[in-house]
Every structure is written in structure tokens, then in C-alpha cells.
Structure 1
Amino acid sequence: MVAMGGGEEFPQRGKSDRELLLFTAPHKEGDVDQIVAEIQKEFTNLDVEFVQPGSDGKTQVPKELYQRANYLTTFTWLPPNASEVPDLKFIQFLSAGVNHIANHPIYTDSKIPLLSANGVHGPQIAEWVVMMYLVHNHKYVALYEQQKQKLWKPETGKDVTDSPGKTVGILGYGSIGRQVARVAKAMGMNVLAYTASPRPTPESRRDDGFIVPGTGDPDGSFPSAWYSGLDKESLHEFLKQKIDLLVLAVPLTKTTTHFLSAAEFEVLNQSNPAGTYVVNISRGPVIDQPQLVKALNEKLIGGAALDVTDPEPLPKDDPLWDTPNVLITPHISGSTSAYSTRATQVLQENLRRLRDGKKLINEVDRDKGY
């Protein structure tokens, strides 16, 4: 444990009017020090405490420490319930979603604001999406296999598909989808956006969350058309638009579980017989995985790139591993050396907003689940 901010290692409640920011997320020495120093310079009444996971990977936070906390930054660790943290003003998660704690008493039985790190993943995940799409379209897997065999066969890399004039359909037009749109537009692609609720006005299409400078689609100007709805009829209308690249970037909820299944793969095939390329960077259960395997085997879609599966880790005997035209990575598309810095900047912004009486960014709607 590293104590920052001076004073006792565990200042006791009632002995000080200073506030406490508690970090329980794994971090490397130096990766957030600059941002934390900026926070402490701006909030002079704030102590900061770091609690690192033990060698077993579990986080053990002393009760006397978390009971005094005013702000908590975490990936997964939470106090037992809200009564144990009477002074907690918000919880800043370092993950894009909070479905992993949806059954915890803090989620179900409290009104403590839960804030996600939505917005920090856009650049790196968009690059992963485009990388996989280009690997598929330019037949790089086959070319790499030739390299390993020291074969020179130019015909393998001919008749590739490039991007201008193609259509990317982004199912879930949040921060990740918006950065995919920015890169796709630069490649000459047409962008279609799909959201849970209608976005009929310019104001409703704005991104009010955290945005990495120079990225995304802050004013929602990239899509040529917007679609919306949580019913299958609305989804099918979107999928009928001859989509070449379909990017799944929706949160996992009861409604979006198996959002893509047999009927949806049939719609994609009918609208684009050449084969839609499906990319999932949301959560594995958003796709009905056995039906995905069937769609790939029957060539109803052109291929799939999956950074998430159902379940995770994907068992070695799962048929998905050996399904043709699928690329699988172990849930790493959101990784970047800049992650901790960006996520702590979200925390910094929310501290400012709470102080200034403004609306917090990325606050989770418990009823919606995101």
C-alpha cells in the first residue's frame, strides 16, 4: 500500500475534515502519478491512498480505510454494502461497463453514483477493429502462413477488397463506435449508426461523455443515417442496409443478450450475399455463439473477428476455434499503455464536476444497466 497526501497512514474519521480518495485498482509505479499530483494540487483537502492486490490477485482493503473513503476508484473491488461507506460520494470504475457488479448490494440497494470509464477505449479498440477488417480483406493470414513457409506466391494477395464506398454499420454508437466511424470515414466508408433510443436532433446526437482529444465524433456528424430500437424489427431494418462491416459495441443487458442470432445472420446474408464481416468488441453473449458458428460454416457472413467470447476463457474444445474465417483474441482490444492515465483523467473530471455542481460524466443508469 502506498499512502499519498501526507498525514497518518490511515486517518481516522472524526479526527480530520480532509477527504479521502481510495484507489483499489492495480497500477504500476508512475503510471498515474502525474495525474494524481495534479488532482492533489487542485484539491488541496484531499488525501489519496493506493491499495494494491496481493500476490494471490485479491484485494484486501482495511475496513478503517474504506469506511472513511469519500471517493473510490476501482475495477472490481467494492465494500460489502453502502452502510459500510457512509461518506462515499461516488465510485469511479476503470472499466467501460459495470455489468460485472450488477448483483452487488452497492449496485442493487444503494444510490451511490456509479461512474464508468467510458470514452477511454475508443482509440485502441477502433484500431483493433480496423486492423482485423484489413487483415481479413487483404488476406493477411494466408500471406503470413506463406511467409512462415518461405513461399513466394503473389497470387494469394491479389483480388483483395479495399474500403472506399463500403458501408460500416455500428451497433452501439458510443465512444468506441464514434472512433470507429472517424477512422472508417478516413478510409472512404459510409457510416450507419444504431442506438437504443432515437437521436432525431443534432443535440441528441452529441457525445456528452469523456472524449480523448482529437478522437471520436463529438457532434455526431459522421453517420449518413441513424437507426434505433431494442426490438428485432428495428434491428432487422438496420441490418438490411447492405452492411460490409458490422461492429458490435453495445453494452450487455437482458435486451442485448443474443441480439445477433440465426434470424439476424439470415438478414445479413440476404442484404449482402458477398458476406458481411462481423466484429464483436462488446461482450460475448451479445452474439448467439452456436448460431455464429453455423453462420460461418454456411457462409452466411464473410467472417468474424472476436475479442470477446461466450464463455471466457473460450474452452479449448469449443468449435469456434476451428470455424473458418474467424479471428479470435483474448479480450485485449481495450489494452493500451495510456489506459491508466486516461481513466484517471475521467476521475479528475468527475471530481471537478462534483465540486462545481455539474452533472457527472459516465454515470451508470441502474435501470438500463449502463
Structure 2
Amino acid sequence: MVAMGGGPETPQRSTGDGEGSRDLLLAVLPWPESEPQHTIAKIKEDFPNLDVHYVQDYLNKADRGKTNVPEELYKRAKYLATLSWLPPTPDVVPDLKFIQFFSAGSNHVANHPIYTDSKIPLTTASGIHGPQIAEWVIMMDLVHSHKYIDLYEDQKKKEWSQPRGFGVRDAVGKTVGVLGYGSIGRQVARVAKAMGSNVIAFTASPRRTPESKKDNGFIVPGTGDPDGSIPSAWYSGLDKESLHEFLKQRVDLLVLSVPLTKETTHFIAADEFAILEESNPHGTFIANISRGGIINQPDLIKALETKQIRGAALDVTDPEPLPKDDPLWDAPNVLITPHISGSSVAYADRAFQVLHENLRRDRDGVPLCNLIDRKRGY
């Protein structure tokens, strides 16, 4: 477990004067430098031999990564902090020690030569998204279960209709199934457990020992499930038989928080919706905060139309942006947001704290936090 904060640091001391004796941290990011300035100042204090050069990338997602970064900067860089921008090829960054991505996943750069043809260590900002995304998940479930949309429509029409709000099932005793028990899933579990729900977890590989259930990644203090004690049961596997055993547990809220890989593409499709319908007469509500491709979207629309599931909250779709003529917009009992569940005013600062931790680890010769396994894809 890696938490924010901590005790005093042993600074890296300068070994000489002039640019040649100083390392360069190049940050190419879409946030104004003022947002993470507090943590950047701490990095400079702990690493006085480190120059930090900040280049603001485009804020618009469609243009991210297109920023013109001077070649002399990335050729000299020892560390790179980025969301989307990358140097063209590995050979132009001969001194790069690691790249810190400010995203939870890396599928957006999986075809880049630096990913496919280099051994430059790549790390993610996994761990910083839990608080805000968990709030989004719980908010969407409550909006749906408490029939808030209908009640708000009545408010706009100045109608006082109490029956519209009847029939609410509160969270106590519900089963929340977290498909992908990483930092986000663990914070969803923490909040759900506090509301009286039962939590079950699904992971790619088995977690049979207390040590294997621990979260060894970056954790925002006071959040998550560091020791993995919240789930009442654990399930695992990337095969459909294992997934189906998990889905048969009468899941009321199914949270999708797995990375998009070859194995997880269309992981939830017609067969899975049928199992959810059969196992839970109350209906399952699905919240997808991972990637749109995890769900077979036409099958999802059919499941909503035929009431195989109670509803769905989607912060991600396939494709993105969702075209205006896509039938998903008009599917019943669906709530759609434009991939913003991870947004927070604390996002950039928290991501720089992950970078700060990895700079310490690189200095101390210990394994990096949130290191991407290129073979697994995350």
C-alpha cells in the first residue's frame, strides 16, 4: 500500500553545477500548471537536482497529444509525465528512465512504438480515481433506485405526485458485485459496505491468501480497502464459466471496473444479461466506469428494452463520443455521462503525488508503483 503524505524525505543532492548535472522532468499535461503547483513544489524541494519543465497540452480530448514539444526538451528528459503525448520513437529519448501516465489505463497508447518496441518502464496513476468515481457510481444507483429523474420531471411541471416516489429499495442487504477489484472497485466497496450492502469481488487471478488480497498500489488516505477485508466472497478468472458463477450471486448493483483487454472485450453480453435476469428477480443495475468495449452495446440495448436488467449507468460508451443517432441514447432506464466520472479538482495534484512517489522509488532503487505489465495490458 502506498498512501499520500508521509514523513521527512532524504533529498537528492546536486552533484555539480550547470544544466549537464541536472535531470529534467518533462510534464506534458492538459491542466494549468497552477493546479498541481503544491505537489510540484514538494518535488522540487525533495529533488533539488531536478528541473521541471511544464508544457500544457490541449484540454480538448480530440486534440490531446498533438502539442508541439521542442525536440531538445524530450531528448534531455529523464522523466516524462503525460496523459496522451509521447515522443515519436524510443530512440529519441535515450535517457528516459520512466514515463508516468496520468491515466488509470494505457490502452490509448498500446499501439505506440514506445509501448510496443521499447523497455522504458511505464506507470499509471491508478489509485487517484477511487473517491470521485465511487461517488459517481453510488450517485447513479441512488438516482435510479430513488426514482429521482421522474421526481425531477414532476418538479419542473410543478406536480406533487407522491406515488411516483414509492417502491424504493434502499441499499441495506443489497449485493454489490465489483467486477475488477482495483482501487476504484475498492472505494465503491467501502461506500457500499457503509450503506449496509454486501460486497462480492471478482479479479482476473485468484486471491486466496490475506497477502494476495491487499492493495499494493497507490491509495488516497482514508479510502479504499487496503487489506481486502470488505468482500464477503471473492471470485476470479477470465473464462466465461468463472464470470457466470460470479454473476449468479443475485447481484443488485454490478460495477464494471476492469481494464479493456482482448480477454475483457464484450465480457458482458447476451449470455451474461440472461444470467443476471435469471438470478435476480429484482433486476440488476449496471454501472460501467471502465471502457465502453467491456459491454456488447447492442446486447445491452436489448437487455434494457426487454427489462432483463433494471437499468444502466454508463460513463463510457463504444464509440466515444456516442453518435447522436446511436440507439443507446433512447434506450429505457439508461443514464449516460460523457466519460467524466474521474473528474476532480484534485486529479492533477493527486497524479503528481503518484509521480513523486515513483521519483523516490527510482532514487532508492525499489520497484516503481503502478508499473504496467505490457503483456497483460495494464
TM-score (normalised: structure 1):
0.95
Q: Deviations over 1:53-77 (max 9, x none)?
A: 3697631111111000000000000
Matching of residues 1-370 of structure 1 within 5 Å: 16-53=20-57, 58-370=66-378
Q: Deviations over 1:245-299 (max 9, x none)?
A: 0000000000000000000000101101221001100000000000000001111
Pairwise CA distance, 1:27: 1.8
Pairwise CA distance, 1:29: 4.1
SS in 2 for 1:344: helix
SS in 2 for 1:65: helix
One-letter identity of the residue aligned with 2:21: D
Pairwise CA distance, 1:52: 1.7
Q: CA contact under 8 A between 2:30 and 2:58: conserved in structure 1?
A: no
Between 1:37-46 and 1:22-31, the stretch displaced more is 22-31
Pairwise CA distance, 1:344: 0.4
Q: CA contact under 8 A between 1:164 and 1:187: conserved in structure 2?
A: yes
One-letter identity of the residue aligned with 1:247: V
> Which structure 1 residue ranges, 5 or more long, are not aligned?
1-13
For 1:319 and 1:75, the matched residues in 2 are separated by 31
For 2:160 and 2:291, the matched residues in 1 are separated by 39
Q: CA contact under 8 A between 1:18 and 1:46: conserved in structure 2?
A: yes
Between 1:26-35 and 1:266-275, the stretch displaced more is 26-35
Q: CA contact under 8 A between 1:296 and 1:302: conserved in structure 2?
A: yes
Q: CA contact under 8 A between 2:289 and 2:341: conserved in structure 1?
A: yes
SS in 1 for 2:24: strand
1:6 corresponding residue in structure 2: none
> Which structure 2 residue ranges, 5 or more long, are not aligned?
1-17
SS in 1 for 2:276: helix
2:11 corresponding residue in structure 1: none
Q: CA contact under 8 A between 1:54 and 1:60: conserved in structure 2?
A: no
Q: Deviations over 1:73-124 (max 9, x none)?
A: 0000001111100100000000000100000000000010100000000000
- What RMSD in Å do the two structures reach over aligned CA positions? 1.1
For 2:95 and 2:284, the matched residues in 1 are separated by 51
For 2:30 and 2:97, the matched residues in 1 are separated by 22
Pairwise CA distance, 1:161: 1.0
For 2:218 and 2:157, the matched residues in 1 are separated by 46
Pairwise CA distance, 1:163: 0.6
Q: CA contact under 8 A between 2:83 and 2:101: conserved in structure 1?
A: yes
For 1:27 and 1:170, the matched residues in 2 are separated by 31
Q: CA contact under 8 A between 1:101 and 1:107: conserved in structure 2?
A: yes
For 1:190 and 1:325, the matched residues in 2 are separated by 24
Between 1:330-339 and 1:154-163, the stretch displaced more is 154-163
For 1:53 and 1:349, the matched residues in 2 are separated by 23
Change (3 A) 1:54 1:125: closer
One-letter identity of the residue aligned with 2:287: V
For 2:36 and 2:307, the matched residues in 1 are separated by 47
Q: Deviations over 1:29-65 (max 9, x none)?
A: 4211111111111111100101123697631111111
Q: Deviations over 1:135-190 (max 9, x none)?
A: 01100000000011111111111111101011000000000000000000000000
For 1:174 and 1:194, the matched residues in 2 are separated by 10
For 2:103 and 2:302, the matched residues in 1 are separated by 32
One-letter identity of the residue aligned with 2:129: H
The number of aligned residues is: 357
Runs of at least 4 residues of structure 1 off by over 4 A? 54-57
SS in 2 for 1:350: helix
For 2:146 and 2:102, the matched residues in 1 are separated by 35
For 2:216 and 2:266, the matched residues in 1 are separated by 28
Q: Deviations over 1:2-40 (max 9, x none)?
A: xxxxxxxxxxxx951210000001222421111111111
SS in 2 for 1:282: coil
